[in-house]
Structure 1
Amino acid sequence: MNKIIFILLLCVYTCSKANAQGEQNLWTFGNVGINFNTATPTTYPNNLFPGYEGSASICNAAGQMLFYTNGFWAWNRDHEIMPELTGGVGGYTSAISPTVGYPPLMPWSGTYATQPTAIAGMPNNPNKYYIFSLASGGQLYYSVVDMSLNGGKGGIVSGKKSIFMDAGLTEKLTVVKGCNNIWVMARAKATNQYRAYEINDTGIVNAPVISNVGGLPVGWYRYGVIKFSPDGLKMAAACNEAWNTKGGLELYDFNPQTGHLSNALVLDSSSTLGYYYGACFSPDNSKLYATTSSFSYLNTFYSGKVRQFNLTLSPPAAIIASNTVVFSSFVYSLDNLGDLKRAVNGKIYFGNGLSAMNYIDNPNSAGLGCNAVGNVLLFTGGSTYRGMPNDIAIITPPDSVKMNKTVTVCFKDTAVLTADTGKRYLWDNGSSSRQRIVTSAGVYVVRYINTDCKYQTDSIRVRFTHLPVISAAGYSCPDAKQGKAWINPQSGDTTSFQYTWKDGSGNALQQRWSKHGDTLKNIDTGAYSVQIITLSGCDTTLLVRILALPVPMASFTADGIACKGSPLTFGNTSTAPVWKWHFGDGNFSSQHSPSYSYGQVGNFTASLVVTNIEGCSDSATKEIEVKGLELNLTADKELANKGEIVRLQSAGSEPYTVTAWEPSFLFPDQVAISQTVAMDTSRTFIVTGVSAYGCKAKASVEVAVNPMVFMPNGFTPNGDGLNDRFRPVSTGYIFVRYFEIYNRYGQKVYTAVGKGALEGWDGTFNGQLQDLGTYYYHINIETKEGGTIALKGDVILMR
Structure 2
Amino acid sequence: MKRLFTSGIILILILFARLSQAQGENNIWCFGDSLGLNFNTTPPSFFRHSMVTTEGCASVCDPAGNLLFYSSGFNNWDRNNNLMPNGTGMLGNGPIWGGIHMGSSATGVAIARSPANPQQYYVITTDAYEDSTHNAYYSVIDMTLNGGLGDVVPGQKNIVLATNVSEGVVVQKAGECGNYWIILHDGNSPQHLSFKLTAPGISTTPVTSNAIPVPASRMTFNKEATLAVSGGTAMHLLSFDKTTGLFASLGQLSAAPMGSAGAVFSPDGSKLYAGINNLLQYDLSLLPNLTAVQSSRIVIDTGMFMHLRKGPDDKIYTLRIWAKRVGCISNPDAAGSACLYNRDALTSALFPSATFSDFGNIVVVHEPRDTIATAIIDTTICQLPQVTLNAPAVHESYLWNTGGTGVQHTVNNDGIYWVYGRDGCRLSIDSFRVRFIRFNTGLGNDTAVCKGYQLVPSPVVAGATYRWQDGSTASAFNVSQKGSYSLTTTLEGCSVTDSIAIDVIIPTFHLYENDTLVCAGTTLQLHAEIVPEGNYLWSNGSTEATIFTDGPGTYTVTAANACGAFSDSVHLATMYCNCRPFVPNAFSPNGDGHNDVFIIELHCPAAKAYSHAIYNRYGQKVFESKTPGIFWDGAFNGVACDAGTYFYTIEYKINEEKFSKKGDLVLIR
TM-score, length-scaled by structure 2? 0.48
Structure with more contact order per residue of length (Cα contacts < 8 Å, sep ≥ 6): 2
TM-score, length-scaled by structure 1? 0.41
